[in-house]
Amino acid sequence: MQASSLPIGYTAFVDRACFAKGSLQHVVTLAKNTLGDSQLANVLIFNDGTGKPVDVDFRGSTAAVLDRLRGESKEGHTSDTAEKENEQPPRKVGRPKLGVVSGEVTLLPRQWEWLKAQPGGASVTLRKLIDEARRVGESESQVRAAQEATYHFMTAMAGDFDRYEEALRALYAGNETLFYEWIDDWTPDIRDYVKSLASSAFKQEEH
């Protein structure tokens, strides 16, 4: 299953303690049904994928709160769908081409000679090079996304913690050992959530 198809999880905190995890509906329902108004005012819910806080209006009944969430979700989905449809180029009439697509590639003579000398020939070598470049690019994108998610949560919940700035610098410098050292004595629930967000924030050495 691809990561993009996985359901988005959410984590709720009351003050500095982790209160609930799960779908947004589950977390909101649990908070609404078990917490008093003063505690609800201190609830912060974070998107596990982006590390960003989610704005939830807890006024009214549980059903009313969930109805507002569904309405906001539907509006956002409709807007995203409309944008994607507008971006799509017009379809060409006729049967779609399947499999290999030919195209023009311009290279210097020495580059053609090198390609032709590779096992499988130029086409096979080019496909391998492209696949490898895509793999590296996707890995780097995953690292950047994890760094940004970790940054968003740390800024919201740990901005006044000791060695917060040092931890951020280690995060973006890719220094995994130092990063975990700086956050080791943070409030346990916040530290553990930071670790979960940062699990893909450092490039793994290939052996």
- Domain locations along the chain: 3-77, 135-200
Would you call 175 helix, strand, or coil by DSSP? coil
Quick one: angle between helices 121-157 and 164-173, nearest 10?
180
Give every CB contact of residue 190 below 8 A, 6+ residues apart in sequence: 13, 16, 157, 158, 161
Q: How far apart are CA 19 and CA 27, in angstroms?
A: 9
pLDDT tens figures, 125-174: 777 777 777 666 666 888 999 999 999 999 999 999 999 999 999 999 99
**Whole-angstrom Cα distance, residue 67 to residue 70?**
5
Is 47 strand, coil or helix? strand
* Residues linked to residue 47 through DSSP beta bridges, in sequence order: 10
Closest C-alpha among 207, 148, 197 to residue 48: 197
Question: What would the pLDDT profile of 72-105 be if each residue is shown by its tens digit?
Answer: 776 555 555 555 566 655 555 554 455 556 667 7
Task: Confirm whether pTM is higher than 0.85.
Answer: no
Q: What is the pLDDT of residue 88?
A: 58
CA 180 to chain centre: 20
- Is the sign of the CA dihedral 192, 196, 200, 204 positive or negative? positive
